Amino acid sequence: MNVREQAQKRWDSVAKPLHSLGLLEDLIVKIAGVQGTADVRIDRRCAVVFCGDHGVVRKGVSQSGSEVTALVAGTIAEGTGNINLMASVAGTDVFAVDMGMITPVPGTVDRRIGNGTADITEGPAMTREQAEAAIHAGMEMMHDLREKGYQIAVIGEMGIGNTTAASAVTAALLDLPPEEVTGRGAGLSDAGLVRKIAAIRQALAINRPDRSDPVDVLAKAGGFELAGMTGAFLGGMKCGIPTIPDGMIPAASALAAARIDPRVTESILPAVMSKEPADRLIMEALGMEPVIRAQTALGEGTGGILLLPMLDMALQVYRGPHTFDALGMEAYVPQGKDGL
């Protein structure tokens, strides 16, 4: 019996209807498989916020300017950001990782590849070598977290303009037109959304990313933080750390990671479905069903971290004393549709 089968057997021993905690049961079984033990532990947890700037912001695709990336990253590094406030409730440590902001921020983890990406409407976001370096940096970050004893990680981001890059990456990888995968991000007007879609269309036409080569797609249409998160998902798989993507932008990176190594989906826990249209398309492509549909759009890991208290509650049942044996009750068994 493998670890996942052991975890499922434990769930089936709990005195309740079979699979009555639904997707939460599935996620606990999945975590057991990643950690290599049915004794699932997520006490040491963190949110890792990958930060980077984007040259395409100059095309008016975002409500804010690039200076906001450093401002928000600074609050995360100081412990006062939105993600920090939510993490304090969930008992979660937070790390801000500088993958390539224009302005370096004290207190962030330095994994810088460059001072922001180039404008994707005029050429590639970065070189292939830079994309590979960013992926490697994300993998190294997960290795460091394992060495520090972390057992689960929320993967988030901060980067003005990165919904544009993530939408471009998604359109390329899924071979879909930009208008099908592009949303309003942090709150674009109708005119802003038109500019954003036009910018993505131009970026794809000029750069012609190869959808069969996810590193090429990240290099031509992505961002330093997108490539870093791609590495984080791959690193989580290698290090035995389950990862939780926070909404569409990390999900785009998860899609790229899955195109690099399909096995990575076994270590990714789908938490939240954001209101970006690409999120649903990515989850469908990955064969995943998010647990939470809260119309979130904040980023920083704030949607992903919502899953942790839910997992805590599920684990209390999973590890608890309320079993068929303890109650002297006959265990439930699977039945057909007619109840026989």
Distance (Å, rounded) from C-alpha 188 to C-alpha 192?
5
**In contact, 248 and 272? CB cutoff 8 Å:** no
Catalytic residue positions, numbered: 300
Q: How far apart (Å, rounded) are the C-alpha atoms in residues 85 and 83?
A: 5
CA distances for 238 relative to 27, 142, 199, 242, angstroms:
18, 9, 36, 10
DSSP string, 149-207: T--EEEEEEE-TTHHHHHHHHHHHHHT--HHHH---TTT--HHHHHHHHHHHHHHHHHH
Q: Is the dihedral of CA 216, 219, 224, 226 positive or negative?
A: negative
Query: Can you name the residues that pair with 90 across neighbouring β-strands?
Result: none
Which two structure tokens, joined as six digits, stand for 133? 């370096």
Asked whether 134 and 52 are in contact (CB, 8 A), the reply is no
